[in-house]
Structure 1
């Protein structure tokens, strides 16, 4: 199949912008709990629709009082927190355009984004961020104001706006149209300098309202309960931003968590107890690996692995039934599944707060077996696919017929087309309006409303999309064999000892790989084998650890032909990091930079 379309379920309003819904909801149901935020003692406090409206209005007045005008761009450099959402909707209320900046961005990255977008003001979280801005401020002639959240900026702005009449904000808000620019989000820059994606209010409203209309039933643990979610994705990323907008528009109670580490995230999942979550595969891998480590520490590795096997078989049987290809789980399989529900699956769900029954995953592809395990354990993960240029999801698996291992069908109102060379093209109301200050780059990817994604994929007979790689990442060996590295890398990375994997082999005689280690996994592995602690240099030479990693490579090689298999690999002493310029802020590999940094190690693979 070359093209597939799903009819629309939602359209962007003909008038207004993103902030209107805050005021509409407060008028319609002022006491409804709209958000949750932590107080100074770390306890969750409910925020009603009316209170959120009042805070948005007060902050909007403060921004006007401090000089922010309609159409101004204002950067936000912070982790995910309540104040970011507050600033987003306050800025949208006055027709300004937030420009998100990753809190881990280097000074030069910050300079480029703020200079390119000509921001006039910037919100930062703390002093380190302020110092980063300060180091480049002499090269930012348009930047006039800097507010620091942890230095009382919010209180100062609220006080500044106290004398501004409410109607001043409302006049600004009524001037916003769906075609107005809502935000400029910079791409991750895996292959060059980041480009600013201009996303309109209409893009966000179409995307968010479509997701709510199609997937709203899965927002709940059970019919009729209050929908809630914990947002821990970076709000500098389009996925996190879409979750924020969809939660507010869809009347989903929204909490924020600034850290992606398991030690910080899991306690908040336990206390907020969301009904569904939206995450990247990394989070689900962490939950699974933590559960397996606990089982191994308790001497129950065998039962846990059996529970995984049963969950996968159960989910596969349910999948086949959904597509009319089987009767569903057998009586024997249902009995085994019921037994492990009590001893394994319930504990896995409890790690996510206990109420989660559904989740959405994006950002990178998830292994089919991992998705099947979670489905069998009672948490169905709907994998999707999108880009910054599509305001997040362009495809996603539907609730009633999830095909694990794919990124699903086009979201309603979207068409997926596969070009002759296998490139995925997309058309829909969520497709951005172009790159800021980059007309030639815009012309290369936008063709009569179609977005040429740069991704390679295929549609099956039912219209489900599978992404197989990036056009720019296809490796061609010296023997002329084309190899997509993504599937190999993901299968190797699925091993609990592996943090990262990069496949190399362009213009080389065969395929090879560089592998980095997951410290938590390694620490647990050493403890379970009564091995002494080792330095990084000692670990990479340990023959037992090499054997474990080799198992991961062998498993990956079963996915491809012999000519595409990883012939050899090398374990590195340190992970690829953003600080060393080897990862993007969204944790994607910078392939060219990694190969240049590890030239000696790569060359050694071919001696």
Structure 2
């Protein structure tokens, strides 16, 4: 094993509960804007909420919780999209010592029942009537559940009214007895394989990474002299969203909520809220890039954009080599080109994001380095982060001035990272969870002497930079014995504008294959650019042939990052995307690989059978001799 850790933690140790940050900020800087919410009925206007206003609202809701019988240690589920009220209720629960149990609002009825039962929730806050109906169908099997509150029916106002006669001193007394090692949240894993497990996360654990990031990197979240502003659109039902919320409220960053994850909603929110820092997942940054490209092509400037994008990547790569001491940096011609595109292209791209974004973090899954270079080259430094539900969020960060694309950076100060002999990443530090709720055997399997077995595989270089190569359980072993990590292939496939999702398969098969879904927005745009008249003979066949050729180019580009034996030899384009509604994605938008393979078992068998059909007079071709990947459309 190799072991790396940075210097001792630079953030002060937590001495209280997470809710204290709301009260401390209000006492220290009462007029500081800390939250922003859209004015009712006006999508382009945001109303700022000051620290003292948030404190008072949290206190009022906390009083209502006390009046409703919510006590320290009680667990309360929140099943809602990312909204202003989510944050208010979360901090009100922490104020009275209760534990938050986040549930994604798109979760199936069985998932909701399982989490509420496993966590022993005494109350649940849902967003709308659909949520009430979902919980209502499982209430009979949940004897501990006492309250079902509905946001859209005025739940927070009702709680405020109910607690009107509870003294403020009662709330203050409860807040002051919350200890750093008390459980703050029970966050359930995504359940990509098997049932989700509830991770008990302490106040200290959730605060640690946030405080360390703020202490060492907080000054980079906005241009000098400006208050950092973060638009939150990732679900708070995932620990990544919880971490972002905690960073904002502990660091005095202005936080705006956007519940919709659609392209149109995000575009509008970015333009009107104008964040200085972005937190997202790879699919968000991929979608933004494809939107830039599509918009440029629609305006007849597609070739210009592609030249500018390549210059951005070349410039960022040259600058990375300079700061790492492996190259001289961008030469005169490249700097001249980059300056030209800054005036004509890059600043316009940044303007579509609000014009103030300076840095961004991608998490949840691996980010393609080419995408990182593109954003850095247009003036928005984007780095890949790493963390797990079991660690309460991030455990690594890029060292300032020594950032390295293709890695997730180095261990945060106070965090230790090892890579075991089989490639599994082990983590130890203050943010590691307390254990799985009601599952001691799973806890014992995950924790060994304080070390968390992450289930991820990766490598550490000589300077302690960590690279993630995939999930241990996702590694593919073909029938020829070749071991393949699917993540690099899937990342590169998704970089093609037409590709929406990709799943690489091949366990016990003669070669690696892929299931691909198409981006509906870009597909419609691509068909329009193809320009085939509707009445042209054989239009559909010509269009399908052109689409097959385009996807074949995407497959070839993906294959360029791996060896020939690891390359995709067969692939199929599916008619519909993987989605939580069809059970093929988790609520946190992660692939349910086992479910996908089961769902498309017939198509997968047909795909491989079609590739191995040969005339009887010819010998059967070995997989190593398959020169061209085969495309199969359904």
Q: Same fold (TM over 0.5)?
A: yes
CA distance in 2, matches of 1:14, 1:401: 29
- Counterpart CA distance in 1 for 2:552 and 2:606 is 18
In the alignment, which residue of structure 2 is the partner of 1:598?
A: 600
For 1:279-358, list aligned pairs within 5 A. 279-358=280-359
Q: 1:167 aligns with which of 157, 160, 169?
A: 169
Q: Is the CA contact (8 Å cut-off) linking 1:58 and 1:161 kept in structure 2?
A: yes
CA contact (8 A) 2:10 2:216 kept: no
Shift of 1:532: 6.5
Contact 1:9 1:214 in 2 (8 A): no
Matched residue of 2:385: which SS? Answer: strand
* Structure 2 partner of 1:16: 16
Query: 1:7 and 1:532, CA in 2 relative to 1: closer, same or farther beyond 3 A?
Result: farther
If the length of structure 1 is used for normalisation, what is the TM-score? 0.97
SS in 2 for 1:191: coil
What is the CA-CA distance between 1:543 and the residue it aligns to? 1.2
Q: Deviations over 1:367-404 (max 9, x none)?
A: 11111010000000121111100111111222321101
CA drift at 1:540: 12
* Structure 2 Cα separation of the partners of residues 301 and 502 of structure 1: 29
- Once the two structures are TM-superposed, the CA of residue 541 in structure 1 deviates from its matched residue by 8.2
Deviations 1:400-434 (A, max 9, x none): 21101111111121111000101000111111111
Structure 1: runs of 5 or more not aligned = none
8 A contact 2:14–2:207 mirrored in 1: no
Q: Distance in 1 between matches of 2:534 and 2:412?
A: 49
In the TM superposition, residue 533 of structure 1 has moved relative to its aligned partner by 8.4
Conserved? CA contact 2:11–2:215, under 8 Å: no
Deviation string 1:438-461 (CA, Å, 9 cap, x unpaired) is 111011111111111011100111
1:63 pairs with one of 53, 62, 65: 65
Give the stretch that moved more between structures: 65-74 or 93-102. 65-74
Q: Which residue of the partner structure matches residue 41 of structure 1?
A: 41
Q: Distance in 2 between matches of 1:476 and 1:425?
A: 23
1:455 is paired with a residue of what secondary structure?
strand
Give the structure 2 partner of residue 90 of structure 1. 92
Secondary structure in 2 aligned to 1:369? helix
Matching residue of 2:583: 581
Q: Which residue does the alignment assign to 2:241?
A: 240
Map 1:437-452 to 2 at 5 A: 437-452=438-453
2:480 paired residue number: 479
Equivalent position of 2:25 in the other structure: 25
Aligned match of 1:129 = 131
Distance (whole Å) between structure 1 residues aligned to residue 560 and residue 520 of structure 2 = 26
Q: Is the 1:307–1:344 contact (alpha carbons within 8 Å) kept by the matching residues of 2?
A: yes
Asked if structure 2 preserves the Cα contact closer than 8 Å seen for 1:269 and 1:351, the reply is yes
1:175 and 1:101 map into 2 onto residues whose CA distance is 27
Q: How many residues align?
A: 603
Distance 1:233 1:354 in 2: 21
> Could you tell me how far apart the structure 1 residues matched to 2:578 and 2:215 are?
40
Tell me the residue number matched to 1:5. 5
Residue range with higher mean Cα deviation, 36-45 or 185-194:
36-45
> How far is 1:95 from its partner?
0.1
Distance in 1 separating the partners of 2:9 and 2:120:
37
1:490-529 aligned at under 5 Å gives the runs 490-529=491-530
1:78–1:103 contact (8 Å) kept in structure 2: yes
Residues 114, 532 of structure 1: alpha-carbon distance in 2 compared, 3 angstrom cutoff: farther
SS at match of 2:285: helix
1:530: Cα distance to partner? 2.0
Shift of 1:154: 1.2
Q: Which residue pairs with 2:632 in the alignment?
A: none
| SS state at 1:603 partner | helix
Deviations 1:116-151 (CA, angstroms, capped at 9, x unpaired): 000000001100111111111111111010110000
Superposition deviation, residue 574 in structure 1: 0.9
**2: CA distance between counterparts of 1:401 and 1:176?**
39
Consecutive unaligned residues of structure 2, counting only runs of 5 or more, are 610-634
Residue among 181, 184, 192 paired with 1:182: 184
* 1:11 CA displacement: 4.8
State the partner residue of 1:545.
Answer: 547
In 2: Cα distance, 1:313 partner to 1:397 partner: 20
Match of 1:393 in 2: 394
Taking the aligned partners of 1:539 and 1:208, their CA distance within structure 2 comes to: 54
Aligned to 1:567, the other structure's residue is in SS state strand
Matched with 2:558 is 556
- Per-residue CA deviations over 1:461-520 (Å, capped at 9, x if unaligned) read 111111111111111111111111111111111111111111111111111111111101
Q: Report how far residue 15 of structure 1 moved.
A: 2.7
What displacement does 1:577 show? 1.3
